[in-house]
Structure 1
Amino acid sequence: MDVHNLFAFMAVAALLVVSPGPNGFLIAKTVPLYGKKAGFSNVWGFVAAFYVHGTLSIFGISLLLVQSAEAFFLFKLCGAAYLIWIGIKSLMAAFKTPSLEAVKAPQTAKKALSTRGAFVEGFFTNVLNPKVSMFYLAAFPQFLSVNDSPLTAYALVTAHSMVNLIWFSLMVLMLSRVKSMANSACFKSALNSVTGVIFIGFGAKLALMKISD
């Protein structure tokens, strides 16, 4: 694979990364409420999931998944259920009144828990999304030759991950400027309500998605 192919792939990956989707809305929910550290944990969760999808695609497991209607249905159903669950949790948080214990709890403990949870949310939001595997399955044949090694394919996964890392890191830094607004109960409620509805919508869309999509 030459440099031109690599940059061409990065351009295609950039279009996928910057398009509105669950990743961007997850970052938009996490950073104002929990800060930059949790936001970057979301991003690293995305990256880890890309390597899982890349590995499955390189060794042909994703192809078997796409060719099996039953397997694809179960996989997308798991992904849809997870997105909907994130949405439900956000809606529940929007209408939840903080307890006295929660107000008195040390902020550092909350921060650490949020950071771990943010990585898990970022990881599962992507690893359970069949569209990522479908992207690799569609892109690899166009940018790789039969003589290329699996390491070359991993170079494409790394390129995709770097584009993702740069874009969402910039988003994290920009959103961290409005973190002070999260001290408002009204802002928290509105943010959780909006992201909750959006994630439920993404989950429903994924549940109705067909392989041809």
Structure 2
Amino acid sequence: MDISNILTFIAVAALLVVSPGPNGFLIAKTVPVSGKKTGFANIWGFVAAFYVHGTLSIFGISLLLVQSAQAFFIFKMLGAAYLIWIGLKAIISAFKQTENSTGNTHQSPSKNTSMRVAFFEGFLTNVLNPKVSMFYLAAFPQFMPASETALSAYTLVTAHAIVNFLWFSMMITMLSKVKGVTNGAKFKVWLNSITGVVFITFGSKLALMKNG
């Protein structure tokens, strides 16, 4: 594959990665509560989902999904429901923390997200997002000639994964450096409230997204 195509793809992928979206807000929700390692588990979930979408695009399954209105509707509604569910969980957690801080002196500590849960949150946030499939379906024909093999396609997926890993690693590092601020109970209530609303908004927008 032509190196210039790879570099151009990296530039396009970088714009996609750094734009505000569910991934960034998921990292912002996870790291202050559960730490750096759990944040990296989110990232590995993102990466695993990219390879799933890349594989589906290579074999043409994603194209069938986009072309079928019924399949696209079911897929996007599953993704929307999952994002809204994450948002509702965050808001419920914020309410519980508020009740604990204003009620009894016995405050239950914030529940940390396990590595496995963080991985699957990152994975499902992306694997159920039809926008990722549409990105690969649009990118592969432009950056990879039809004569190229699946190895070339996976090269593009890997480039996307590396850009994603580097960007969110920097984000995790910055969040961990201000952990003293983010550990406060009031901050966690505020963070859960904001991320809850944001995820519900993302889910609602995904539910209303039209095919093509």
- TM-score band w.r.t. shorter chain: over 0.9
Aligned 1:166-181 pairs, distance under 5 A: 166-181=166-181
Tell me the amino acid that sits aligned with residue 29 of structure 1: K
CA distance, structure 1, for counterparts of residue 166 and residue 62 of structure 2: 26
CA distance, structure 2, for counterparts of residue 183 and residue 196 of structure 1: 18
TM-score (norm 1): 0.92
Residue 5 of structure 1 aligns with which residue? Answer: 5
Contact 1:32–1:180, Cα closer than 8 Å, also in 2: no
Contact 1:62–1:137, Cα closer than 8 Å, also in 2: yes
The alpha-carbon deviation at position 116 of structure 1 amounts to 1.7
CA distance, structure 1, for counterparts of residue 155 and residue 211 of structure 2: 26
Tell me the amino acid that sits aligned with residue 76 of structure 1: K
Identical residues among aligned pairs (%) = 69
Deviations 1:151-176 (A, max 9, x none): 11010000000000101111111111
Matched, 1:204 2:196: no
Residue 140 of structure 2 aligns with which residue? Answer: 140
DSSP-derived class of the 1:210 partner: coil
Count of residue pairs the alignment pairs up: 206
Contact 2:32–2:183, Cα closer than 8 Å, also in 1: no
CA distance, structure 2, for counterparts of residue 50 and residue 190 of structure 1: 31
Tell me the amino acid that sits aligned with residue 141 of structure 1: P
Deviations 1:18-69 (A, max 9, x none): 1110001111111111110111111110000000000000000000000000
Residue 51 of structure 1 aligns with which residue? Answer: 51
Residue 25 of structure 2 aligns with which residue? Answer: 25
Tell me the amino acid that sits aligned with residue 115 of structure 1: M
Matched, 1:14 2:20: no
CA distance, structure 1, for counterparts of residue 5 and residue 126 of structure 2: 25
TM-score (norm 2): 0.93
CA RMSD of aligned residues (A): 1.6
Contact 1:33–1:179, Cα closer than 8 Å, also in 2: no
The alpha-carbon deviation at position 101 of structure 1 amounts to 8.7
Contact 1:75–1:130, Cα closer than 8 Å, also in 2: yes
**Unmatched tracts of structure 1, length 5 or more:** none
Residue 118 of structure 2 aligns with which residue? Answer: 118
DSSP-derived class of the 2:145 partner: coil
Tell me the amino acid that sits aligned with residue 130 of structure 2: P
